[in-house]
């Protein structure tokens, strides 16, 4: 409709127009980037781990005395037996790390022994022949470890077992043709290790951003960690018996041997708790960004309502004249909606530049990813709709200005 | 005049409660978001040892070489070999090595179960160079270090838990089955961020329980409970071979009092690295660093990106709130163009109109600051939901934050009012109230 | 052209009812130039706002160009205002944000006219009032007389059947007022129907016919004693 005269009139209200446009531009920049951050964080914290989280818990068992490798290995066997006796317990495995633990052991992986720069980086798990079954990891190729393949590893011992089970993500990275099974690789050693099994998915132990390029790249070595500090027991429970087993496990362990430390605060954790803790800052970030988005949109909307109301008040007489000259309710309503649409469009246009500017800065400073175009388009639609929604009430009020307003004395 | 302007301002604000509420809320939310995120940022980015931070340095030596170091940057800790060589050289006023350890302690009643305790294995200079305050006794001497004595310093908190806070200097304590002699009890001392161990530990975890003598801990093969980082093909198969490996895990610190000391120490590090190249241990030229506390915290990226991003986003949010306020103030002031014209006709100068409206804006700012303070207080109690628990507990609402909140709110609002007030002051004197 | 019979307009508040117009009758024929006079508060302006469909009325009938308008909805009334009526206000009521050209264009825009025709009509109307050279000026840059001539051009641009003028010279000095009046007379000679509200007897005298309103009713000047006192008093004030 009548776009030209609206633009002409706006030129006489530069400050107000500019302020609304600027506000919309800045809001677009923040909302787009915030929504993207929210999406990234939410997808990060809902990453599947590949294990049967619902029925798993972890006991952090620290030794009360400094044990030798053999002593520790023997104690672990006794503990495993004690835990397996619990009615709710299905399976147990000793480990020195677990998925989503946050940090842990990772190794550089190469395809040749003399290779200096790494092919990739893998999260390292040690596990016995019960590891896969206890965690509920799905083996999609090859076989599980045999009991006689599992070796004890003590303090600062370092050896590379001849066989390994790896995640599909790691297999695909090393052998993109899908023929990884039976192939070797090297892991900070000149001795190879051969892939005897591939599991569908096994999340890394760490959840930090540096490892994003190596997502889900994990390997398991047939090792029973017998460290002087202690061990993690990963326990799989029968359905519905998680809470009960979590209460009974430390009691059974203390009954077996008193010289150990299982923190009453966080010594026994279900995987729900582990997941909650691992992604604490992601969730916080998502919550904070959501709050800021909502409040920001509300304030921008309210600001548009306020300024438009002022404009309507200022132009009552003008509106009356227009009505007298034949403008219908609808014409006046459209006038204000169109006016806001034009301002918003200008704001959104500037906003797109600001949005990409802010994103670029975040990419450079904080290793964030580039903003997908869909977010910008979505943000633009949100803000244009917000503008129209915010302006609707004052515009409606404007359209109700009676034509007789034109004859009121000045 | 100020009182009159304030009175006019408040009356005007009351006349447009909607517009006023909107402005106050915009300022309040904007300032609260900024202050909450700032309080967290302040907690994580502060100087943990302000009076000495420019005299304490972390030396770094590239023991991995250009192909395996971190993009040209030497590793952030020493291997055992380099650590021992550098500390024995005694080239700084004071120097220490440290690594985190986790031990068990058995409380004294007979039926008790052991508890896990955390601390650091350190050398004697640790205490004077970091200015650790003592409640009882003292740290240990260099000769104790050399004699590999079983010395331990307890923290006051741990001493309280274990011994009810008694003067335990001279008594023994059993940690992980080994006996140690208590030489001192340190008063509460927990610099945040924990600058001295950031390479290995989280910078914001619970305070330590004890400090044991490093050489003694090594003799007992007390493993590091922190980070251990290695490169290349690993050939060690036990503790002693591990000590000789390229794995880095010992965190060094030196105290250098003058800039010439710093320059001299840098030359020493370069000389040491060059010597290692000569003897064939390093196959690359010297690549060393010497960073003071704040530079080191920066290098270690101690401030979580979440804290920075949220502060930036919150500041942008505040900026938008201010743009919003400029618009609303403009609307509010210009709606009274007629009144301004009459005032001008009655003898008010431009300057006086300007002042009147700035005072009105300051009143809005004060109200916004009040609301912001309230929201900040509410937000602070919810900080635990937004940031890591270790970090969230550091953020708190203190007197300086209260003051800052109010000052920022008022100044920002007055700054936002400059343009609208200027526009108002431009209104020409008039004899009658006119709309349009 | 404009016929009101037994028309009334009542303003109601919670406590009182005020009759602005009561049993109001008027009949303006096509091509007439009628001046409506009366003292302040007599109902002149109310009459004009109702005549111009700016307001509704309470009772009676109003035929405009043969159409009974009381039953029309707001959109239809807007359309009639736009197509059949041209307004000339005492305070000109130009839109300050728009320049002369864009001001004259406003009613044509609402008529949905194509751009070339709009332009032709606007320039024609501005030519008619002698302001074609000021098309790009803003109202604030013009004198009062010029502004009123722009308002007249705006009223003429849509070729209305009826021109309603409310004290068209009230805000102008004598010389400017004369110019505006001559313009109106010229427009009338060309066949337009003009109804002009004024309380200036001199101005009223230039019209073909005078209608006098007192207390919301049309009265015969010669017969109503109320008029003599009120009207001569008001006229005397203005002259002195």
pLDDT at C221: 62
Same domain as A329, residue A251: no
Cα nearest neighbour of B317 on chain A: A296
Verify whether the Cβ–Cβ distance A404 to C105 is below 8 Å.
Answer: no
Angstrom distance (rounded) from CA C139 to CA B90: 87
Would the pLDDT of B167 be above 60? Answer: yes
Same domain as A131, residue A89: yes
The pLDDT of A304-331, averaged and rounded, is 87
Same domain as A238, residue A96: yes
B108 vs chain A: nearest CA distance in angstroms? 14
Same domain as A16, residue A159: no
Residue A57 lies in a domain: no
Strands A163-167 and A151-153: unpaired
Percentage of residues in chain A having pLDDT higher than 70: 99
Verify whether the Cβ–Cβ distance C53 to A322 is below 8 Å.
Answer: no
Last residue of a domain, one of A188, A223, A258: A258
Residue A50 lies in a domain: no
Same domain as A394, residue A313: yes
pLDDT tens track for A255-264: 998 889 999 8
- Chain A (312-371) residues lying within 8 Å, Cβ to Cβ, of chain B: 313-314, 316-318, 358, 362, 365-367
Verify whether the Cβ–Cβ distance C95 to A331 is below 8 Å.
Answer: no
The pLDDT of C93-98, averaged and rounded, is 82
pLDDT at A1: 52
pLDDT at C223: 53
- Chain A (344-403) residues lying within 8 Å, Cβ to Cβ, of chain C: 402-403
Task: Estimate the crossing angle of helix C174-189 against helix C144-157, to 10 degrees.
Answer: 20
> Of the candidates B306, B316, B332, which has its C-beta nearest A30's C-beta?
B316
Q: What is the pTM of this model?
A: 0.82
pLDDT band at B430 (very low <50, low <70, confident <90, very high): low
CB–CB of B118/B101 below 8 Å? Answer: yes
Verify whether the Cβ–Cβ distance C105 to A323 is below 8 Å.
Answer: no
pLDDT band at C234 (very low <50, low <70, confident <90, very high): very low
Same domain as A192, residue A160: yes
pLDDT band at B283 (very low <50, low <70, confident <90, very high): very high
Residue A275 lies in a domain: no
User: The tokens of C193 are what?
Assistant: 């129907």
- Disruptive mutation site among C69, C86, C98, C110 for chain A (greatest number of A CBs within 10 Å): C110
Exposed/middle/buried for residue A321 (C-beta within 10 Å: 0-12, 13-18, 19+): buried
pLDDT at B436: 36
Enumerate the residues of chain A whose CB falls inside 8 A of the CB of residue C83. 326
pLDDT tens track for B328-356: 898 888 877 777 877 776 767 788 888 88
Verify whether the Cβ–Cβ distance B309 to A285 is below 8 Å.
Answer: yes
Residue A40 lies in a domain: yes
pLDDT tens track for B214-269: 999 999 999 999 999 999 888 888 999 999 999 999 999 999 999 999 999 999 99
Cα nearest neighbour of B175 on chain A: A65
**Which chains are adjacent to chain A, needing at least 3 Cβ pairs under 8 Å?**
B, C
C110 vs chain A: nearest CA distance in angstroms? 6
Out of A6-10, B208-212, B370-374, B406-410, pick the least confident: A6-10
pLDDT tens track for C33-71: 999 988 888 888 889 888 988 888 888 999 998 889 888
pLDDT tens track for A171-227: 999 999 999 999 999 999 989 999 999 999 999 999 888 888 999 999 999 999 998
Same domain as A92, residue A131: yes
pLDDT at C72: 87
* C32 in reach of chain A (CB within 8 A): no
Q: What total number of domains does chain A contain? A: 2
In the 8-state DSSP scheme, what is residue B117? Answer: E
What is the pLDDT of chain B when averaged over all its residues? 90
* C136 in reach of chain A (CB within 8 A): no
Same domain as A113, residue A35: no
pLDDT tens track for A120-130: 999 999 999 99
B15 vs chain A: nearest CA distance in angstroms? 14
The pLDDT of A135-164, averaged and rounded, is 93
Verify whether the Cβ–Cβ distance A8 to C89 is below 8 Å.
Answer: no
Verify whether the Cβ–Cβ distance A324 to C87 is below 8 Å.
Answer: yes
Would the pLDDT of B435 be above 80? Answer: no
* A147 in reach of chain B (CB within 8 A): no
* C74 in reach of chain A (CB within 8 A): yes
pLDDT tens track for C192-221: 899 999 878 888 888 888 898 988 888 866
The pLDDT of A383-406, averaged and rounded, is 91
Out of B70-84, C5-19, C23-37, C153-167, pick the least confident: C5-19
C229 vs chain A: nearest CA distance in angstroms? 26
Verify whether the Cβ–Cβ distance A307 to B334 is below 8 Å.
Answer: no
Residue B367: in which H helix or E strand, if any? helix B350-381
> Of the candidates B237, B308, B419, which has its C-beta nearest A159's C-beta?
B237
The pLDDT of A380-403, averaged and rounded, is 92
Task: Please give the residue that has the higher pLDDT: either C226 or C52.
Answer: C52
pLDDT tens track for C126-142: 998 889 999 999 888 88
> Of the candidates C53, C74, C96, which has its C-beta nearest A329's C-beta?
C74
pLDDT band at B433 (very low <50, low <70, confident <90, very high): very low
List of residues 6+ apart from C165 with CB closer than 8 A? C87, C88, C184, C194, C195, C196, C197
Structural domain range at position A363 = 4-45+281-407
> Of the candidates B29, B235, B305, which has its C-beta nearest A295's C-beta?
B29
pLDDT at A130: 95
pLDDT tens track for A132-147: 999 999 999 999 999 9
Enumerate the residues of chain C whose CB falls inside 8 A of the CB of residue A404. 49, 54-55
pLDDT at B110: 62
Verify whether the Cβ–Cβ distance A402 to C110 is below 8 Å.
Answer: no
3-state secondary structure of A1: coil
**Which chains are adjacent to chain C, needing at least 3 Cβ pairs under 8 Å?**
A
* Helix-then-strand count for chain C, H and E: 8, 10
Enumerate the residues of chain B whose CB falls inside 8 A of the CB of residue A15. 330, 419, 423
A140 vs chain B: nearest CA distance in angstroms? 30
pLDDT at A354: 94
pLDDT at B193: 92
Verify whether the Cβ–Cβ distance A403 to C89 is below 8 Å.
Answer: no
* Short-list B239, B197, B77, B251, CA closest to A227: B239
Verify whether the Cβ–Cβ distance B323 to A299 is below 8 Å.
Answer: no
Angstrom distance (rounded) from CA B208 to CA B202: 12
Out of A3-17, A57-71, B223-237, C14-28, pick the least confident: A3-17
* A407 in reach of chain B (CB within 8 A): no
Cα nearest neighbour of B18 on chain A: A306
pLDDT at C240: 35
* C84 in reach of chain A (CB within 8 A): no
Residue A374 lies in a domain: yes
In the 8-state DSSP scheme, what is residue B46? Answer: S
pLDDT at C239: 39
CA torsion A315-A320-A321-A327 (nearest 10°) is 110
Same domain as A98, residue A36: no
Angstrom distance (rounded) from CA C237 to CA C201: 11
Residue A157 lies in a domain: yes
Residue A271 lies in a domain: no
Helices of type H across A46-167 = 69-84, 131-135
- Disruptive mutation site among B313, B433, B435 for chain A (greatest number of A CBs within 10 Å): B313
Q: What is the DSSP string of B164-190?
A: TT---TT-EEEETTEEEEEEEEEPS--
- Disruptive mutation site among C43, C56, C74, C101 for chain A (greatest number of A CBs within 10 Å): C74
Would the pLDDT of A80 be above 90? Answer: yes
Same domain as A157, residue A23: no
Same domain as A114, residue A32: no
Residue A273 lies in a domain: no
* A316 in reach of chain C (CB within 8 A): no
Verify whether the Cβ–Cβ distance A406 to C87 is below 8 Å.
Answer: yes
Same domain as A123, residue A40: no
Verify whether the Cβ–Cβ distance A407 to C48 is below 8 Å.
Answer: yes
- Disruptive mutation site among A228, A284, A311 for chain B (greatest number of B CBs within 10 Å): A284
* A7 in reach of chain B (CB within 8 A): no
pLDDT at B428: 75
Verify whether the Cβ–Cβ distance A307 to B223 is below 8 Å.
Answer: no
Over the Cα atoms of chain B, what is R_g?
Answer: 30
> Of the candidates A229, A306, A367, which has its C-beta nearest B331's C-beta?
A306
* Short-list B95, B55, B22, B126, CA closest to B292: B55
ipTM: 0.85
What is the pLDDT of chain A when averaged over all its residues? 91
């Amino acid at each position: 409709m009548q776009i030209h005269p609206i633009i002409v009139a706006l030129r006489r209200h530069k400050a107000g127009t500019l302020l609304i446009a600027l506000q919309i531009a800045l809001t677009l920049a923040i909302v787009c980037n915030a929504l993207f951050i929210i999406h990234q964080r939410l997808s990060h914290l809902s990453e599947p781990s590949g294990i049967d989280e619902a029925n798993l818990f972890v006991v952090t068992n620290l030794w009360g005395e400094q044990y030798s490798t053999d002593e520790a290995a023997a104690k672990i066997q006794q503990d495993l037996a004690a835990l397996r006796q619990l009615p709710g317990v299905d399976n147990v495995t000793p480990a020195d790390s677990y998925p989503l633990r946050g940090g842990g052991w990772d190794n550089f992986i190469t395809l040749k022994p003399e290779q200096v720069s790494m092919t990739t980086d893998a999260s390292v798990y040690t596990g016995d022949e019960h590891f896969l079954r206890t965690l509920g990891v799905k083996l999609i190729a090859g076989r599980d470890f045999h009991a006689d393949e599992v070796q004890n590893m003590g303090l600062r011992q370092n050896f590379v077992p001849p066989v390994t089970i790896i995640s599909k993500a790691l297999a695909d990275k090393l052998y993109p043709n899908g023929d990884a099974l039976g192939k070797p690789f090297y892991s900070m050693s000149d001795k190879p290790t051969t892939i005897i099994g591939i599991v569908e998915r096994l999340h890394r132990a760490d959840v930090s951003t540096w490892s994003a390029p190596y997502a889900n790249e994990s390997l398991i070595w047939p090792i029973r960690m017998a460290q002087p500090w202690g061990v993690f027991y990963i326990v799989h429970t029968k359905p519905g018996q998680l809470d009960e087993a979590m209460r009974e496990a430390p009691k059974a362990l203390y009954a077996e041997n008193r010289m150990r430390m299982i923190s009453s605060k966080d010594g026994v954790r279900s995987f729900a708790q582990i997941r909650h803790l691992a992604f604490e800052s992601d969730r916080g970030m998502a919550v904070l960004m959501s709050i800021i988005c909502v409040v920001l949109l509300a304030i921008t909307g309210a600001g548009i309502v306020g300024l438009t109301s002022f404009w309507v008040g200022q132009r009552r007489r003008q509106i009356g004249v227009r009505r007298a000259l034949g403008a219908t309710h609808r014409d006046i309503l459209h006038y204000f909606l169109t006016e806001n649409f034009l301002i918003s469009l200008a704001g959104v246009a500037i906003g797109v530049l600001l949005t990409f500017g802010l994103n670029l800065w975040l990419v450079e400073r904080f290793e964030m990813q580039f903003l997908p175009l869909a977010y910008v388009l979505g943000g633009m639609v949100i803000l244009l709709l917000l503008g129209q929604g915010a302006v609707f009430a004052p515009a409606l009020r404007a359209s109700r200005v009676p034509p007789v307003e034109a004859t009121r004395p000045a | 005049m100020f009182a009159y302007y304030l009175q006019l301002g408040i009356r005007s604000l009351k006349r447009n409660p909607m517009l006023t509420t909107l402005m106050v809320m915009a300022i309040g939310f904007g300032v609260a978001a900024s202050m909450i995120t700032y309080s967290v940022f302040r907690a994580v980015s502060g100087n943990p040892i302000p009076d000495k931070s420019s005299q304490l340095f972390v030396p770094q030596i590239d023991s991995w070489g250009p192909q395996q170091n971190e993009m040209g940057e030497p590793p952030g800790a020493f291997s055992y070999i380099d650590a021992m060589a550098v500390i024995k050289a005694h080239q700084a006023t004071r120097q220490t090595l440290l690594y985190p350890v986790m031990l068990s302690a058995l409380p004294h009643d007979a039926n008790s179960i052991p508890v896990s305790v955390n601390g650091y294995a350190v050398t004697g200079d640790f205490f004077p160079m970091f200015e650790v305050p003592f409640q009882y006794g003292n740290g240990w001497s260099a000769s104790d270090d050399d004699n590999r004595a079983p010395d331990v310093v307890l923290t006051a908190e741990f001493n309280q838990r274990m011994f009810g806070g008694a003067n335990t200097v001279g008594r023994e304590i059993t940690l992980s089955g080994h006996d140690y002699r208590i030489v001192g009890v340190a008063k509460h001392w927990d610099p945040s961020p924990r600058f001295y161990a950031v390479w290995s530990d989280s910078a914001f975890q619970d305070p330590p329980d004890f400090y044991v003598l490093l050489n003694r801990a090594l003799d007992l093969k007390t493993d590091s409970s922190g980070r251990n980082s290695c490169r290349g093909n690993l050939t060690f198969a036990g503790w002693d071979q591990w000590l000789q490996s390229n794995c880095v895990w010992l965190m060094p610190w030196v105290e250098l009092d003058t800039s010439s000391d710093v320059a001299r120490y840098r030359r020493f590090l370069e000389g040491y690295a060059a010597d290692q190249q000569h003897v064939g241990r390093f196959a690359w030229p010297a690549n060393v660093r010497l960073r003071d506390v704040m530079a080191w915290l920066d290098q270690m990226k101690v401030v979580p990106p979440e804290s920075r991003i949220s502060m930036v986003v919150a500041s942008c949010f505040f900026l938008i709130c201010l743009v919003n306020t400029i618009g609303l103030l403009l609307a509010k002031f210009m709606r009274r163009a007629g009144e301004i014209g009459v005032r001008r006709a009655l003898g008010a100068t431009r300057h006086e109109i300007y002042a009147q409206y700035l005072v009105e804006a300051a009143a809005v700012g004060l109200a916004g600051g009040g609301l912001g303070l309230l929201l900040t207080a509410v937000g602070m109690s919810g900080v635990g939901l937004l940031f890591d628990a270790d970090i969230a507990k550091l953020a708190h609402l203190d007197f300086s934050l209260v003051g800052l909140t109010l000052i920022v709110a008022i100044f920002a609002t007055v700054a936002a009012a400059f343009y609208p007030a200027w526009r108002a002051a431009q209104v020409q004197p008039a004899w009658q109230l006119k709309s349009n | 052209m404009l016929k009101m019979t037994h028309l009334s307009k009542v303003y109601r508040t919670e406590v009182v009812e005020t009759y602005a117009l009561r049993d109001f009758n008027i009949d303006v024929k096509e091509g007439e130039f009628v001046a409506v006079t009366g003292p302040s508060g007599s109902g002149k302006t109310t009459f004009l706002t109702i005549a111009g469909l700016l307001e509704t009325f309470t009772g009676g009938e109003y035929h405009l160009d043969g159409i009974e308008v009381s039953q029309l909805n707001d959109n239809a009334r807007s359309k009639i205002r736009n197509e059949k009526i041209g307004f000339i206000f005492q305070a000109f009521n130009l839109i300050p944000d728009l320049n002369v050209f864009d001001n004259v264009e406003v009613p044509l825009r609402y008529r949905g006219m194509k751009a070339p025709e709009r332009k032709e009509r606007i320039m024609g109307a501005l030519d008619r009032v002698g302001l074609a050279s000021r098309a790009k000026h803003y109202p604030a840059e013009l004198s009062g007389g010029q502004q009123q001539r722009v308002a007249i051009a705006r009223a003429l641009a849509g070729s209305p059947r009826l021109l309603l003028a409310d004290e068209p010279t009230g805000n102008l000095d004598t010389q400017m007022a004369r110019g505006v009046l001559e313009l109106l007379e010229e427009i009338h000679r060309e066949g337009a129907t003009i109804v002009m509200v004024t309380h200036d007897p001199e101005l009223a005298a230039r019209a073909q016919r005078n209608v006098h309103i007192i207390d919301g009713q049309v009265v015969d000047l010669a017969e109503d004693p109320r008029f003599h006192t009120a009207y001569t008093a008001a006229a005397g004030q203005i002259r002195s």
